[in-house]
Structure 1
Amino acid sequence: MVKFWILASIAAAISTATASNLLQVQNIPLNLAVEIAQNAVQSCAKQQYSVSAAVLDREGVLRALLRADGAGVHTPDAARRKAYTAASARTVTSTMVKNIQNPGAAQLVAIDNFLILAGGVPIKVGNETIGAIGVGGAPSGDFDEACAQDALKQVADKLQ
C-alpha cells in the first residue's frame, strides 16, 4: 500500500511539472488574418497593382488568401510561399534575397515551399512571430513588400 502512495505521489508531481512546462504561444486569429490580406490587396490596388495576399499562422498554415481581380494565376501560390518563407525564417524575404548571395546561404532556395523573393513579411507581436504575410503580383517584389508593410501598419494597434 505504501508503494502505491509513493507511486501516486510521484505521478502527481510529474504531471504537475509537465503541466507547468507547457508552451504558451500567440497565433494570428482568422479575423485579423483576413483584415491584413484585405489591406494588402487594397494597398496595391491604389497603385493599380492586381495582387494576391496570403496570411499564414506562426506554423506556416494558411489562414487567409485573397486574389484581386486581374491578378495573375501564379500570384496566389507566390504569395503563400513568400509568407511561408517569412514565417519560417522569421525575417523579411527581401533580406533573405540579399543573404543568399553568401555561398553559405545559397541553398536556402532548395527548401521546399520557400520562395526567396521580396514580398514576405513576418507578423510580430513584440519579438514573437505570430504569422506572416506574403504579397505577389506587383511589378517587383519591392512593391509587393511595400503593400504588405502598409497592411501591417494599418493593424499595428491590434498587434500589441
Structure 2
Amino acid sequence: PALDLALEAARVAIETCAADGGQKIATSVVDSAGVLKLLIAADGTSPRGVASSTTKALTALNFKSPTSQVGQQAKTDKTLADKIAADTTINARPGGILVKVGDEIIGAIGVGGGKTDEPCALAGLQKIQARLK
C-alpha cells in the first residue's frame, strides 16, 4: 500500500486498540515483497509487541493467509506446527492480515502487543480498503 495509506491504517489500528481497554500496540506494514514500509508503536508498547507486529505481517504475507488461520491450521497439521516451533521468524498468533486489491496481495499489516490484535489490524485495513490500488 502507498505510504500515506499504510500510515493511516496503522494509526487507526493503534487508536482502535487504545480505545479497547488502553492496549498499547505496534503496527507494521509490509509491501508484497516483504519490505517493511512502516512501523509505528504507541507510547508504552513493549519491545516484544514491536517485534511481533513485524513477524506477524511477514508471516501473513509468506503464508498468504491471516496469522490466525495459520495458527488454527497448525493445531491439526503437525508438520506446520513443527515448522512454526523451529522458526522464530514465524508468528502464528492473531494479528497479521493480508492487504489485497481484488485477488492480488499488495502487502500485509501486523499488529502486536495487545489482546485484540487482529480486530485492530482489520479496523485499520477497513479504513483504507476502498482507496487501495
- What is the TM-score normalised by the length of structure 1? 0.77
Aligned residues: 130
| Gap change, CA 1:50 and 1:112, over 3 Å in 2 | closer
Verify the 8 A CA contact 1:86 1:122 in the aligned structure 2.
yes
Decide which of 18, 26, 33 is 1:52's aligned counterpart.
Answer: 26
Shift of 1:112: 5.5
Q: How does 1:23-42 map to 2 (within 5 A)?
A: 28-42=1-15
Question: How many Å separate the matches in 1 of 2:68 and 2:41?
Answer: 22
Shift of 1:62: 0.5
Shift of 1:87: 1.1
Question: How many Å separate the matches in 2 of 1:133 and 1:108?
Answer: 22
**Structure index of larger Rg:** 1
Q: State the one-letter code of the partner of 1:106.
A: A
Gaps of 5+ in 2: none
SS where residue 118 of structure 1 aligns? coil
Runs of 4+ in structure 1 over 6 Å off? none
What RMSD over aligned residues (CA atoms) do the two structures have, in Å? 1.3
- What per-residue deviation string (whole Å, max 9, x for no partner) do you get for residues 61-109 of structure 1? 1001011011112111100000000111111100011111211322331
SS where residue 50 of structure 2 aligns? helix
Q: What does residue 127 of structure 1 align with? A: 103
Question: How many Å separate the matches in 1 of 2:44 and 2:80?
Answer: 35
Q: State the one-letter code of the partner of 1:131.
A: G
Q: What does residue 79 of structure 2 align with? A: 104
Shift of 1:32: 1.5
Gaps of 5+ in 1: 1-27
> Is 1:136 aligned to residue 116 of structure 2?
no
Q: Among the aligned pairs, what percent are the same residue?
A: 35
Question: How many Å separate the matches in 2 of 1:155 and 1:52?
Answer: 18
